[in-house]
């Protein structure tokens, strides 16, 4: 029988242990967790652009709306017991947490041993990307719905402002969505509408698809309407457009865009789709169709709408109060270990979160549309 020499525990180097004690994989798990969070934070832009609340010990969170009130003159000798019209009116909006959202992968230990790159780090980033993508898509859909909604304040004689739709261009053509001059005009119209509806100038942002964003960059030197505080390499890198009419601009492939996510390519100018040429070899993740995410879909507890409801949507402009997101479980990671790892000779790596989103103040939501007149089929109020 072959004899095996052994190394005493004190002489054994375990790079996954913290201070040479405890779980032999503890540091590996923390490394993976950090990679997942990095992937999520790098790709989720909507989370910090809307109102976010953390939910504990409950399934939903209540948001309170307070309507406008007015000033009135005091009558000498009359008791002051509040305005005679009972203002301000108050209403509520409740956002429920959707079911647990997960993204997972099984990592076989032998594959890790043979791989010439850090396998878990790569997988972790992809899990973070997947969760961030879903997170943003739900929030952006909620904002688009808010742009078509009336105020929740319904008290008699107190009509509060609702959402806003603005058509890009004047030709009812989808290709107008890529005309820089038309986009700039739409941004100024949106800024005026937000001003007129009493929406704060603080935290106003716009989200366009990448091709729209780069179209604006190309026109910076000639139109004179875009804030050009940043030029040179920053401009060419896609970070040069600071704002239009006080509205900071972001780009994302997760906004509802002509019934797709982020982009819809093909066709010629004046056709029913934007006049952009497909680069080819797109794979299955580009031009992904906006899926049905109505409240009757398994796992969905809020209303995010159906594909057909975003047929003419081509951009969003909003203020922080436009939508809210509640988190019961923030982005986190779980990894199997111990006996489970021994039995399967590998680990299941799971990224998860529990959140829900909906529009809050419709007046703070603006949807850009093209290819149809405002209020036409496919863009009526929800």
Over residues 308-320, the pLDDT tens digits come to 899 999 999 999 9
Residue 377 pLDDT = 46
Domain annotation covers residue 31:
no
- Pick the more confident residue, 11 or 138: 138
Residue 237 pLDDT = 47
DSSP assignments along 349-371, one per residue: EEEEEEEEEEE--GGGEEEEE-S
Residue 228 pLDDT = 54
Distance (Å, rounded) from C-alpha 213 to C-alpha 208?
6
Residue 226 pLDDT = 62
Q: Is the per-residue pLDDT at 269 higher than 50? A: no
Residue 156 pLDDT = 76
Domain annotation covers residue 26:
no
Average the pLDDT over each of 4-13, 70-79, 368-377 and give the range with the smallest value.
4-13
Residues 336-359: what's their mean pLDDT? 87
- Pick the more confident residue, 77 or 194: 194
Distance (Å, rounded) from C-alpha 274 to C-alpha 123?
35
- Pick the more confident residue, 36 or 380: 36
Residue 30 pLDDT = 53
Distance (Å, rounded) from C-alpha 360 to C-alpha 93?
7
Q: Is the per-residue pLDDT at 99 higher than 70? A: yes
Q: Is the per-residue pLDDT at 240 higher than 50? A: no
Domain annotation covers residue 41:
no
Residues 340-364: what's their mean pLDDT? 89
Domain annotation covers residue 249:
yes
Query: For the chain, what percent of residues have pLDDT higher than 90?
Result: 32
Give the torsion through C-alpha atoms of 42, 48, 52, 56, to 10 deg. 30
Instruction: Name, of 78-82, 224-228, 292-296, 302-306, the range with top average pLDDT.
Output: 302-306
Average the pLDDT over each of 9-13, 276-280, 348-352 and give the range with the smallest value.
9-13
- Pick the more confident residue, 326 or 17: 326
Give the torsion through C-alpha atoms of 318, 297, 95, 97, to 10 deg. -110
In which band, very low, low, confident or very high, does the pLDDT at 134 lie, cut at 50, 70 and 90? very high
- Pick the more confident residue, 173 or 186: 186
Domain annotation covers residue 236:
yes
Over residues 329-347, the pLDDT tens digits come to 988 888 888 887 888 888 8
Contact 328, 55 (CB under 8 A): yes
Domain residues for 164?
59-65+88-98+136-278+289-331+354-369
Domain annotation covers residue 240:
yes
Residue 74 pLDDT = 82
Distance (Å, rounded) from C-alpha 314 to C-alpha 252?
12
Residues 129-149: what's their mean pLDDT? 94
Domain annotation covers residue 341:
no
Q: Is the per-residue pLDDT at 38 higher than 90? A: no
Domain annotation covers residue 18:
no
Number of domains the chain is built from: 1
Distance (Å, rounded) from C-alpha 364 to C-alpha 281?
38
Long-range Cβ contacts of 66-74 (<8 Å, 24+ apart)? 66/90, 67/91, 67/151, 67/153, 67/155, 67/158, 67/160, 68/158, 68/160, 68/198
Average pLDDT, the chain: 80
């Amino acid at each position: 029988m072959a004899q095996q020499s052994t190394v005493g525990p004190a002489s054994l180097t375990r790079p996954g242990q913290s201070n040479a004690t405890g779980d032999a994989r503890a540091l590996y798990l923390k490394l993976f967790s950090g990679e997942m969070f990095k992937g999520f934070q790098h790709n989720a832009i909507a989370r910090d652009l809307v109102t976010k609340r953390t939910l504990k010990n409950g399934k939903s969170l209540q948001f309170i709306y307070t309507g406008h009130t007015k000033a009135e003159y005091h009558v000498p000798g009359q008791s002051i017991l509040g305005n005679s019209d009972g203002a301000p009116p108050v209403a509520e909006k409740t956002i429920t947490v959707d079911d647990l959202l997960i993204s997972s992968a099984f990592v076989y230990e032998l594959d890790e041993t043979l791989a010439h790159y850090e396998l878990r780090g790569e997988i972790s980033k992809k899990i973070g990307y997947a969760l961030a993508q879903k997170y943003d898509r739900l929030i952006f859909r909620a904002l688009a719905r808010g742009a078509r909604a009336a105020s929740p304040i319904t008290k008699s004689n107190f009509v509060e402002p609702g959402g806003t739709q603005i058509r890009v261009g004047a030709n009812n053509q989808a290709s107008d969505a890529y005309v820089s001059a038309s986009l700039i005009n739409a941004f100024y119209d949106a800024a005026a509408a937000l001003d007129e509806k009493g929406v704060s100038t603080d935290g106003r942002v716009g989200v366009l698809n990448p091709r729209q964003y780069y179209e604006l960059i190309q026109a910076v030197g000639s139109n004179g309407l875009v804030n050009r505080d940043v030029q040179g390499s920053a401009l060419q890198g896609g970070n040069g457009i600071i704002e239009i009419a006080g509205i900071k601009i972001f780009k994302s492939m997760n906004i509802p865009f002509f019934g797709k996510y982020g982009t819809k390519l093909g066709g010629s100018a004046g056709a029913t789709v934007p006049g952009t040429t497909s680069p080819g070899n797109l794979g299955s993740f580009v031009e992904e169709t906006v899926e049905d995410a109505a409240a009757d879909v398994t796992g969905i507890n809020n209303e995010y709408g159906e594909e057909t409801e975003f047929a003419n949507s081509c951009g969003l402009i909003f203020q922080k109060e436009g939508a809210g997101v509640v988190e019961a479980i923030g982005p986190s990671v779980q990894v199997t270990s111990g006996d489970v790892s021994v039995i399967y000779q590998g680990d299941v790596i799971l990224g998860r979160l529990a959140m829900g989103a909906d529009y809050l103040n419709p007046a703070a939501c603006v949807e850009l549309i093209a290819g149809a007149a405002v209020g036409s089929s496919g863009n009526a109020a929800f």
